[in-house]
Amino acid sequence: MRDTFEKSSSENAVEAVRRALRPLLRRRFYSQAGTAPAGEGFAVRLDGKPVRTPAARILAAPTLALAEAIAAEWDAQRDVIDPAKMPLTRLANVIIDGVSDRPEPVAAEIRKYLATDLVCYRAAAPQGLVERQARDWDPIVTWARDVLGAHFSLREGVIHVVQPEAALAAAGAAVPGDPWRLGAVHTATTLTGSALIALALSRDRLTAEEAWQAAHVDEDWNMAQWGRDEIALERRAFRFAEYQAAVRVLRSL
């Protein structure tokens, strides 16, 4: 009986801590989300009223399709508004409040990834992993060379390889300047760990599925050998929602 009581008390304490750490979510206060023309784009509206970003700017997108997709996230909220379930809205806020005003630091971070790009570092063994990396990554390196004029060097292992300045410059020139495309490419870069994957995605060289698969070659190989990692898969699912938002932006422009 004592053990049962102590266990119950412990579980209640843990749950109390979890509740305290959960963010306080605002209750849904609107009946319908929609869109309306605004300037050179389309604004998201709640019961006909404009939505504001954290910096108090109008939440608007450059295309109707994108604005409607953002509005759909607001419509999908039920009793409360949960930002964690609104990746497209969060990305739009970042682009409007951050990327639009200071695009160069964002572009510079993407170019920084090029210097240590995931697809340039290869396994020496086992052979199955070597072949899978070659299958998914070689076409990206070839595309960068043939289309962007960027000749990247490959290396076995994780020891840093200094990439040719000409390659970095050529690939860096492909980083988009439009804030919406730039913000989406930056998100895809950080989520995949590869600027080349993100650029190939943005130029339609890779489908969304191909790019996501290429980003997880090593992780998928390890799970195939040692079993599923449920925690890793849970994290991946959250990142995938963020990734899909970036893809939605790229495909809607």
**How many CB atoms sit inside 10 A of residue 147's CB?**
14
Question: How many angstroms separate the CA atoms of 193 and 206, rounded?
Answer: 15
Closest CA to 247 of 91, 115, 143: 91
Judge: domain 103-252, CATH 1.10.10.10: no
pTM: 0.88
pLDDT above 90 (res 21): no
Q: What is the pLDDT of residues 155-210, one digit of tens each?
A: 999 899 999 999 999 999 999 999 999 999 999 999 999 999 999 999 999 999 99
Contact at 8 Å (CB) between 143 and 200? yes
Question: How many angstroms separate the CA atoms of 157 and 57, rounded?
Answer: 46
What are the respective helix, strand and coil percentages of the chain, to the nearest 5? 60, 10, 30
Question: How many angstroms separate the CA atoms of 176 and 224, rounded?
Answer: 36
Domain boundaries, the chain: 26-99, 103-252
- Per-residue pLDDT, 15: 52
Give me the CATH topology for the region 26-99: ATP12-like (3.30.2180)
